[in-house]
Chain A
Amino acid sequence: MGLNYYHILKRVRDARKLVIRGTTSAGSGHPGGSFSMAEIMGCLYHKFLRYDPKNPLWQDRDRLVLSKGHASPGLFSNLAVAGYFDKSEIETLRKFGSRLQGHPDFKCPGVEFCGGSLGLGLSFSIGMALAAKMDTKNHHIYTIIGDGESDEGQVWEAAMAGSKFKLDNLTVFLDRNFIQQDDYTERVMPLDEELVGDDISEMWKNAARWKVGDKWRSFGWNVLEIDGHRIEQIVKAINSALQTKGTPSIIVARTIKGKSVEHMEDNPKWHGVAPNPKISPIIELEIDCQFLIAPSIIAGDMANLENEIKRTIHGRADFIHLDVMDGQFVPNKTFDHEKIKQLRPITHIPFDTHLMINEPVKHVRDYVNAGSDIVTVHAEVCDESSFGEIHDILRSNNVSLGLAINPETELPFWAEKFIPDLDQLIIMSVIPGKSGQKYIESTHEKTQRISKFLTEKNFQGLIEADGGVDLTNVESCFLDGARVFVGGSAIIGQKDVRFTITEFRKRLMHARRTLLINKAHDLGGTELVTRWIDLHEMGKKKTELLQIAKEAGFI
């Protein structure tokens, strides 16, 4: 079984956009805390929770208690995406007569706890979990608490009770975003260690400071500590919690308040402020423009791929791109599913398996079973029927669906019907078969054209740029419309993979900022550009944005 990576990713993105739509329409609300828990909610609603939107009170459903109730837009948006109600209803958020109250409320189907007053949700969940135990029910209770919320003494009353009653049917997420209403948590009421200086990065850069996990451990809980924006880590932690017996689990998820929207990220101001309607379209575009880095390990030491995997993990890559070559579809041969199976236990990072092989339909199951999370097959060796079959196999195994086209290939006509369902389209920018080739310049124009076409055809996935992508061209690839970037020799071939990936991200960030400034200019000229840039209060963002705007002649 795969992670169902894209399935979750797309829904997280849709939910984030709904949060913006809802809070913008309401003129108030809490986007910051909705975004810090967005991936957690996405994994719960679109992978783990058992529920029936048509029968919200189905007895055997899993329960999700959002204790940090002010993040209700983050809950409502997921309920809308899950099908409890029409997405357009999000625009009634916080309005008179709406089912979508300022804080979660039973008025809204799918809501399990009327949150708002902080510190109550965990106790409530304990009541639910006790009842489930009494009735020998198998459903699970998930609770999301905030770090600011953890100031409430009742959280710790509940922590003692959860442990006393051995509630292994309860899993708590601590959305550790380090920000509460007034200020950073470590200034208001430290959960880890008091923050004395002005450098807020102190709070997360040194793991020796982190104490909150120990607090919960000392209360007798099973504690798991993860990056709360990485889908594979969330999934792994939940699976581990579900297998833990005799004690409740808490997943301490380090997150970023306002995640995905640069001006909101880590800025306490965005705890409880809605975006301005003029700014919202720019924010929505920003949410659409998240990017992923997928190093291709065949560019490294083929004799020690295990080590290459470790380098990508250390480099904080998003995917690991696995180029499978059979010596027939392409002249070279790399490895097959057996190798992938060997590599799988090393990491939970998604395996982005790119099958450069003949007759992929015959082999795709092997690659699913080997532990791929995304499988991409080539259009040149598929037709409607075989691709349909591949589609079905992947879907039923929670593996994301990719299609690849060679430089001389256009998107085939038969592929069009699959576009809305396609997770990933790889546009090759070198002749596949070996590493280290130069990017074919005409791919820029091709990607732009296909990207536009895909948007018209309701494509929900991402375009992956593969072949000769390096620091010099990654920005243009982004502006063409690509969002996933495979790096072979440009990443794995480098001495310091982590540094290189950071450089890639900087370039991509620059490209995204350029794109967003252009969008702002299109929508509202210099005035909107300035206004949007002014929102970027944290760090050096503003200076850098002003530079881009100046170069573009907008200010």
Chain B
Amino acid sequence: MTEFADMRTVYGDTLIKIGEENLDIVVVGADTTDSLKTKQFGKKFPNRFFNVGIAEGNLITIAAGLANEGKIPFASTYAAFLPGRCVDQIRNAIAYPTRNGKNGLNVKMVVSHGGLTVGADGGSHQQIEDIAIMRAIPNIRVLIPADTVAVEKLTRLISQTYGPFYMRMARSKTPIIHLQEQEFQIGKGIVLQDGSDCTIAACGITVQMALDASNALKQEGISCRVIDMFSIKPIDYDLLEKAARETGGIVTCEEHNIMAGLGSAISEVVSERYPVPMRRIGARDQFGESARDSEIPLLLEKHGMTSIHISNAVKDIRSKKQ
């Protein structure tokens, strides 16, 4: 039985742990600190916690000012409001300022409620453009963890790595995929299953779908390589090239518009390094809509984002190869 855990809880707990170790870590929130589970940090370290109210532009820019003075701010709210509302502030206050070879200011933008699985709040709140926005901005690195193990390790890692980061978490509890001892390196994908017939590269909640698809395909004698591409920028060029060479086809999965997201990032690499047939699973340039938790599978189904869609895409690639 797969175990599920809540990313936000792990994020909040990790902040307290690293906050104890590093006094420069500060947390900035925008009236969603309860939801993002950063409130506990504020209880523990009241002088290092700033709630700016429902003012995301201010959130980002105050974080930039704090970072300018040597602090390591974690700025958190929902994905729909952080990249969605603050492209200008992120670009000009965080990503652009560069001095003494340090690119961008040291702000960690960590959001929750990415993608369609936000559910009931509806299409307005289902951020499916954030990867596209964030990866187009120089100096910003983009991470989408697949589970709470990744959230914990990456939260710690980005607090220790200079530069602006964007990390997106899911609203709902997510299955635990990685072993506790799994190592994470920025810019390196993680091969979860090896295989030779096709590669499935996924991020966030779609990693579990990729594993499910791979397991189903195994029954049909198709061997898939499954990669957790949690680091979308920088992306693992070598691993992707190797996968293309060795498996001859790649299916990408993301809880994001297929335009300019993970699929696009991977096709950029593959088309430059070793072109092979590709299929992209994700929202097909359409907004989401409300769905209660029990209906989220229907919503994903409507957008063609299920393990069955992934399996079909793998088969489609194999038919093109033959």
Contacts and interface: CB of A to CB of B under 8 A. Distances in A.
Contact of A124 (B62, B70, B88, B91): B62
B70 A157 contact: no
A161 B48 contact: no
A161 B62 CA distance: 9
B55 interface: yes
- Counting chain B CB atoms within 10 Å of each CB, the highest count among A119, A124, A130, A160 belongs to A124
A198 to B, nearest CB: 35
A127 interface: yes
A134 B47 contact: yes
B92 A161 contact: no
A132 interface: yes
Given A117-B92, A120-B92, A120-B93, A128 B55 contact: no
A124 to B, nearest CB: 4
A442 B272 CA distance: 85
Contacts of B26: 134
B77 to A, nearest CB: 14
A114 interface: yes
A120 B61 contact: yes
A165 interface: yes
Interface residues on B, range: 20 to 34
- Would you call the interface of chain B mostly helix, strand, loop, or mixed? helix
A122 to B, nearest CB: 8
Contacts of B96: 114
Contacts of B67: 127
A127 B68 contact: yes
A117 B53 CA distance: 22
A154 B55 contact: yes
B55 A131 contact: no
Contacts of A134: 26, 47-48, 71
Nearest to B93: A120
B284 to A, nearest CB: 33
Given A120-B93, A124-B68, A130 B57 contact: no
Interface string B47-79: 110101101011011111111111101000000
Contacts of B70: 131
B71 A124 contact: no
A57 B64 CA distance: 17
A161 B58 contact: yes
B89 interface: yes
Contact of B65 (A57, A105, A126): A126
A128 B68 CA distance: 7
A124 B65 contact: yes
A434 to B, nearest CB: 60
A158 B64 CA distance: 13
A116 interface: yes
Contacts of A123: 57-58, 60-62, 64-65, 89, 93
A117 B66 contact: no
Interface string A88-127: 0000000000000000011100001110110110011111
A112 B97 CA distance: 10
Contact of A125 (B65, B73, B97): B65
Nearest to A154: B57
A127 B55 contact: no
B52 A157 contact: yes
Contacts of B60: 123
A157 B65 contact: no
A114 B105 CA distance: 11
Contacts of A106: 97-99
Contact of A157 (B57, B64, B98): B57
Contact of A128 (B47, B50, B65): B65
Given A124-B65, A131-B69, 9 more contacts: A116-B92, A123-B60, A124-B62, A126-B62, A127-B62, A127-B67, A131-B66, A134-B48, A135-B69
Interface of B: 26, 47-48, 50, 52-53, 55, 57-58, 60-71, 73, 88-89, 91-93, 96-99
16 contacts: A57-B99, A106-B99, A112-B68, A114-B93, A117-B92, A120-B61, A120-B92, A120-B93, A123-B64, A123-B93, A127-B63, A127-B67, A129-B65, A130-B65, A154-B89, A157-B57
Interface of A: 57, 105-107, 112-114, 116-117, 119-120, 123-132, 134-135, 153-154, 157-158, 160-161, 165
4 A-B pairs with least C-beta separation: A127-B65, A123-B61, A131-B69, A106-B99
